[in-house]
Amino acid sequence: MSSAEVPNDIILFHYPFSPFAKRIVWYLKLRNIPYAECIQPLTLPRPDLAELGINYRRIPLLSIGRDIYYDTRLILARLEKSFPATPSYPALSAPQNKGLEALLEKFTVDAGIFSKAAQSLPPDLPVMKDEKFLKDREDFTGTSWTQADRVKGYPEALAHIKHAFDILEALLADGRQWIGGTEKVSLADIHAVWPFNWIADMLPKQAFPKDQHPNTWAWLNRFKKTAKEAEKSGKKTVSLDGQAAIKHIMAASYHDQQTRVDAQDPVKLEEGDLVSLWPTDSGFRHKDQGRLVKLTKDEVVLAIQTRTVSHLHDLARETRLTTDEWMATLLFLTRVGQISSDVRQEFILLSDVLGLSLLVDSIDHPKPGNSTEGTVLGPFHTHEAEHSHNGGSISQDADGEPLLVVCTVKDVDGNPISGAKVDVWETDSKGFYDVQHADSTGPDGRAVLTSDSTGNFWFKAILPVPYPIPHDGPVGGLLKKLNRHPYRPSHMHFMFDKSGYDPLITALYLKNDPYESTDAVFGVKQSLIVEVGKVDDQDQAKKYGVKTGTSLITYDFVLVTDEAVRMLRRSKAEEAMNSQGRKIRFIDDLPVPDVD
């Protein structure tokens, strides 16, 4: 598929400062092959690429249809194959020079000229004063880019580059116009020219004086002029923004239909294997994962899928899903969407009754044994609650049984945490949250409090009652089919927020509730069950401004630091994967299967 906006279905992802990208730009321009481009930022992040599921960080990349090619060597080989010479796309490669082309490519890509040139970038270049750029390139090369370390490397880098200039000068010594001895510019020139052109533009001229390399300088200028002319006379390149590029790629078809996995390849991989792939020279910290589609001596092709997609496919494979079953699922999900609104969130309910909300919470917010466990958020938290002071009442429901709640917030060592933001919410005495009343006039049964200097907070509320989750919609229908009731045991929700600590979303459940062990959303945990007491002495009643005999809940909440949770999340991931006999590695804190 090709459209007017994306000529030849080609999109080049690059930025103008990249000498590697120039190889491709020159090639396309000199061969008169029209294409589109999508300009990328000079440093990470590159959200367009991330949205395409690409981790590879090097520039340029080139898409043809739905296939995305990494690395200029592969891109050029692919373009040579896909665009054989025609009168409109004149040949650039000279058959008699194939060997020289290969040698020159090896020389400029693999002999380290680019990295030595990058090492000798002059300190007065604007990017070299940009901390963000320097940090970004440290990630790219895995080496230090501090001024001090760079200065140390200059002499060796310059000597290396000078040696490379000498080799070019020798190749051009017989006075030839083009490096392959051709009449016109050829692919051999493109393979040779790009790092030297970059160096010539960038480094002070006295580093490589013209009189020492006269033929090289003349050839560089000749190339530049020829490339410029080709650019002027050819079609203007179409520029796409990221979204347009993504849209085009996702709607395109695969360009390369000749996929096969070479069984003789020493890596012994099979089609469909989950594979990680990364460059070994630079940008090696950014690894892609995908299913192996093609493996030949020159090419590895992966089908990049997000894990959700590959697991969804596995679900279908494993359960031998029928067309009817899948259609019923889609119609069910459609109904879940249709009934949802600003005040009704059927998807959260669905996630809750499937036990998924609780599972996700326990994976993402694991809690060490001595801290308060989390539980489901549920669909009824809002951001409308008013700020309340300690001792205030959060409920205006006169039918509710008065309740005093007195709590502390501490860290795992028992130190009080002051200034923690505490969100509290509960239903009215009929089991409905404020947002469920069509005639609701504002927040009720909810408040935002702040723990005081001793880590205490307290408020007046009403005794929670059991309530059914909304069950007049598709989720209710599902529960019925499963012979499950829709009730949640009596509870009150709490959410804690304090910088440096892992956010805690939890709830307290009343002991001896009839639904204690059959909660429709699996939220109850032993450690969160509380016994309701009574305010029994006068002093206490006075202190909190309640009558003696008022119901009382007390609880000591314990928060854990972000860092402790991060460590625990990691060790639990390792444990979970190892117990399934799977080897994993961590990439950006996410466990991914390790293949070697």
Ligand X SMILES: N[C@@H](CCC(=O)N[C@@H](CS)C(=O)NCC(=O)O)C(=O)O
The residues binding ligand X (CB under 6 A) are 18-20, 57-59, 71-73, 109, 140, 282-283
Q: Between the CA of residue 491 and those of 250, 423, 435, what are the distances in Å?
A: 47, 14, 17
Calculated CA dihedral for residues 568, 569, 574, 579, nearest 10 degrees: 90
- Beta carbon of residue 493, minimum distance to Fe ion (angstroms, whole number): 6
Helix axes 98-110, 72-82, angle to 10 degrees: 150
Q: How far apart are the C-alpha atoms of 228 and 210, rounded to whole Å?
A: 22
The strand pairing partners of 561, in sequence order, are: 501
Write down the least CB distance from residue 105 to ligand X, Å: 9
Which residue, 73 or 569, is less far from ligand X as judged by CB? 73
Considering beta carbons, is residue 55 or 72 the nearer one to ligand X? 72
Residue 353: name its binding partner from Fe ion, ligand X, none (Cβ under 5 to 8 Å by kind).
none
Nearer to ligand X, 132 or 543 (CB): 132
Structure tokens at 439: 């005639």
Which tokens sit at 434? 């404020």
From the list ligand X, Fe ion, none, which binds 378 (C-beta under 5 to 8 Å, kind-based)? Fe ion
Number of chain residues interacting with Fe ion (CB under 5 A): 1
Q: Tokens 């730009």: give the residue.
A: 25
**Least Å distance between CB 193 and ligand X?**
14
| CA-wise closest residue to 460 among 381, 395, 523 | 395
What is the smallest separation between the CB atom of 48 and Fe ion, expressed in angstroms? 41
**Dihedral, CA atoms, 100, 106, 109, 112, nearest 10 degrees?**
-120
Cβ distance to ligand X smaller for residue 26 or 457: 26
Q: What is the dihedral of CA 215, 220, 223, 229, to 10 degrees?
A: -120
Minimum CB distance to Fe ion smaller for 283 or for 378 = 378
Nearest to 286 by CA among 17, 495, 45, 491: 45
For the bound state, the minimum distance from the C-beta of residue 272 to ligand X, rounded and expressed in Å, comes to 27
Q: Which does 366 bind (CB under 5 to 8 A by kind): ligand X, Fe ion, none?
A: none
Q: Backbone phi, then psi, for 386, in 5-degree steps?
A: -85, 155
Q: How far is the CB of 70 from ligand X (least distance, A)?
A: 7
> Of residues 60, 290, 374, 378, which one binds Fe ion by CB under 5 A?
378
- Cα gap 46→52, rounded to integer Å: 10
C-alpha to C-alpha distance for 451 and 458, rounded to whole angstroms: 9
Amino acid at 492: M
Pick the stretch among 15-23, 183-191, 321-329, 371-379 that binds Fe ion (CB under 5 A): 371-379
In whole angstroms, what is the distance from residue 157 CA to residue 569 CA?
44
**Least distance between ligand X and beta carbon 141 (Å):** 9
58 binds, among Fe ion, ligand X, none (CB under 5 to 8 A by kind): ligand X
The pair of structure tokens assigned to 364 is 């993402």
Structure tokens, 361: 């919470």
Closest residue to Fe ion, Cβ-based?
378
Site membership for Fe ion, residue 464 (CB under 5 A) = no
Q: Which stretch binds Fe ion (CB under 5 A): 84-92, 181-189, 234-242, 375-383?
A: 375-383
**Residue 102: CB minimum distance to ligand X, A:** 15
- Residue 558, binding choice from Fe ion, ligand X, none, Cβ under 5 to 8 Å by partner class: none
DSSP three-state, residue 408: strand
* Nearer of residues 61 and 94 to ligand X, judged by Cβ: 61
CA distances from 428 to 221, 384, 433 (A): 81, 16, 6
Q: Which of 139, 33, 30 is nearest to 12 (CA)?
A: 33
Q: Which does 71 bind (CB under 5 to 8 A by kind): Fe ion, ligand X, none?
A: ligand X
CB-wise, 378 or 473, nearer to Fe ion? 378
- Select 116 or 446, whichever has its Cβ closest to Fe ion: 446
Comparing CB distances to ligand X, the nearer of 302 and 405 is 302
- Shortest spacing between CB 47 and ligand X, in angstroms: 14
Q: What, of Fe ion, ligand X, none, does residue 287 touch, CB below 5 to 8 Å by kind?
A: none
Q: Which residues bind Fe ion (CB under 5 A)?
A: 378
